Chains A and B, each alone.
Chain A
Amino acid sequence: MMSDTIGEARIKVPDRIRRGDLITVNSIVSHPMDTGFFRDADGDPIPAYFIKQVVVTYGGKEVARFDWTSGISRDPVVSFTLRAEKEGPLTMVWTDNKGATFKQSVNISFAAA
């Protein structure tokens, strides 16, 4: 668990990328992802609190958008692929149902031949 700080996020891409590679992007963001169906120790309902959207941009262009519900597990992980066709930042922005946004970027750069 990495739930100390809500919104703390990491993106992992391969160390060595060549132009045209199909790379795997692994990501995690710290978030409780409360469904609204559970109660706390005092019996009070815990309100729904979850990431509802993730936008992925690459070199400033949107390449993917995920619509989520509280059915995604706590501290959401998602892995997907990317065609490394250019050098530039890969950015993910997570937005929760209270309107908070959390952003993380990695730079896609090509290894020297």
Chain B
Amino acid sequence: MVLRALIAAPQNGLTCPVLHPSFPQDMDSDAVPRRSFLCTCAVAAVGMIVSSSVVNRLLAATPGPEDPDVPNEEVARILQRISNGRPIRRGHVSLDMPVVAEDGRVVPVMIETDLPQTAERYVKAVHLIVDHNPDPHLAAFHLTPTIGAASITTRIKMKRTTWVRAIMETSTGEMWADYSRVRVTLNGCG
């Protein structure tokens, strides 16, 4: 667990604090003082031991790698537009993509969920966002209960190595997501 936190830290682009990127924003109340993380690596290591229970709880709540940062204004706008300010949480969605896509022109995508698709409660939209594509909001799939399950398979183009986001909106207003980082060898967008 601790090792995963260490490995995950550099890709968040923060320089000194080893653990800081792992902390959600609402953790100020019960976490170690923020100052602990803003000095040397040695102090950060002490902070890690003190807060290991917090880290464990966080990793248990969000399995897999850390949620990707929002890379630019355009993706921020797209996320704001589809969520309308609601929190987008990781869970219930499975985005299955290759780790390495040799041909960016044809990259398979499979999106599945364990969320119900019934008249009372259903997934009403599935959004596919490719952070570093020329048009990041690649597709939106609007569904009804008759579809029976929010499960979509297709093939997409990818310009370069980037995070891909599959975000589902339920009829009750929840937003659930999964993320995949895909390495692209051949630019498929021109």
Contacts and interface: CB of A to CB of B under 8 A. Distances in A.
A112 to B, nearest CB: 23
Nearest to A67: B140
A24 B18 CA distance: 46
Contact of A69 (B135, B146, B154): B135
Contact of B152 (A38, A78, A82): A78
Interface of A: 22, 24, 33, 35, 37-38, 58, 61-74, 76-83, 85
Q: Chain A's interface: helix, strand, loop or mixed, by majority?
A: strand
Interface of B: 105-107, 117, 130, 133-135, 137-149, 151-157, 188-190
Contacts of A66: 139-142
A83 B154 contact: no
A112 B117 CA distance: 27
Given A73-B155, A81-B151, A35 B134 contact: yes
Nearest to A48: B135
Contact of B105 (A24, A74, A82, A83): A74
Nearest to A80: B152
B106 A71 contact: no
